[in-house]
Amino acid sequence: MDRFDTTLWAPRVLGLLRIVTAFMFIQHGTAKLFGLPAVEGMGTVELMSIYGLAGVLESVGGLMLLLGLFTRPVAFVLSGQMAFAYFMAHAPQGFLPIANHGELAVQWCFLFLYFAAAGAGAFSIDAARKRAG
């Protein structure tokens, strides 16, 4: 067997990409909702606000993505959230993401869109459910 066999490695790398991305994304939600981790310039937000909703989506959606649970629909929703965040918060400050500090929102938008299309990969509840069913 070829040690660079894509049928062996692609699902594993996809799973690792999902886990690392979700871990990074969850931190944005918990920083908004709980002030953890404490980030300079980012305090807790009112739960019943647009930023509170973003914090809930980032925390709960990020956790579901981390676990690989309902990955495709969750990733689709998170992709939409990041598109909304870009056009609401960044695009009004200028056209190019590098100029309006929206690079991360754009990257996450398309990364989540990729997960919505590709699925969870390895190391996920979705994969375990698929094997069992």
CA distance 19 to 108: 13
Q: pLDDT at position 48, please?
A: 95
* pLDDT number for residue 133: 78
Burial class (CB in 10 A: 0-12, 13-18, 19+), 54: buried
Question: pTM for this structure?
Answer: 0.93
Domain ranges for the chain: 8-126
How high is the pLDDT of residue 1? Answer: 57
